[in-house]
Structure 1
């Protein structure tokens, strides 16, 4: 079964926030100083699965009637769906790339999900998921192009506003397919939304600028941000962000590694590369900041060996 395609709403994001607050404590909103500006960092890396994806997964699975859910993910959405499925006594089948970080594969299996592997080059993950559903049935819970996933991710914005006691002026957000950015734009309509993508993988930023879906080319460069590599956004994400998001910015692998080191040294946080992209843009001066700005720290599922190398470099 395909998910509800109706448009996500601010009301839905608030409903998701109420549901999620009943099962999870709020993640810390940490004070940070960057370039002489005191602002805030939202530590979603401290969620039970180590990433914000738990929000959208919980809200989406709350609207699944059947027992079987199917998802596609490089790791964090996989863990969110697996965690929510376990809590709701559902079965989860996750389509994941063979080159996903071992820590994400292991964690997803440990949460009780079945993993179906595919090759990033030569195979389309959505087609693999469609085959699974054709063979077994089940409900597809897309990683970002799903009404309830978007609303669930927006719960982070509701939480931020409650913690600040006011709307943030801007939110700097790591962006893969645009689910979190879209959700935050619904939850915090007064805030400027600054999306940050890996260099060469700015499919959302380019889509917003062009006004239509843009596909990643076969020559897209390698990036350490494995969580931020969808080949294109979905129309629902573009429709939400089209008149809301600021022009997108990109960050290099070196800038991301610098952000990982900064977070470890200054916040005592472990961030995976994709989870540090927004911080990388802030530290590099690529986005404006003021005292009501919030930087999203979206994931902490770092490969231990790669993270150790980054700290040592």
Structure 2
């Protein structure tokens, strides 16, 4: 049985976007390490652990899980999280089932270390002029909200960013109003899309999973909306960040490798013979299925044959 957690934080606010999608604000105790009640510095895009004791079934002990922080580092009063209730959990002690009954004022556990490498600071030169394209599925939007709010707060133009966010229905598009305001002068830099339009006949925006923006037949349209010329969605002009589950990451990665984008994952680059190349596509994955089956040499050869990296796999074996 997992050791019981000593609660060190309080739920100070929650916004229930739907019965199964919420934004939670958590304020740590001074003992957590918050100096004078202030959240310590961290980098936008990082994550921290949340945890609960299972008081309904004490024999199951406690459970912890990492969550990306949606609030920017400049917000010193609380940490914000964008969380979906897991309907079909893999565990018999899922954290979301314990978080969901929480009310404002209730207590929970907050991990004492904010960490993670999925940040602009850890992946790019601070003066890199390329367009940063953020691709998010569902709650994978959280780190990008933190990044954009942080950089805009520091005076960086939102024109350096583009956000492609996919969800099932419009109600699942968290932070939609905030992002529309941020991109008011560049409305095409925020592209929400829904995958179940039959459930939302009033929806007049994009439809399809977020990775379908990168379908071969749609790429030129995407480039035009981003303010790029045909063929300019390439590593010399853009850097791509993806956050979500396997399907979104795999499909986006495969399609963009054809344009010359290099994934940041070291194992993938090593197995494909790309270690000498600069990463230009970064991803944060919320599940465990390998993004590419790099041990399937035949499949990898077929993949590379459609990219500028054809032949590298053979020379690397």
TM range (shorter): 0.3 to 0.5
More helix per residue: 1 or 2? 1
- Taking structure 2 as the reference length, the TM-score comes to 0.36
- Taking structure 1 as the reference length, the TM-score comes to 0.36
Larger Rg: 2
| Higher RCO (CA-CA < 8 Å; seq separation 6+) | 1
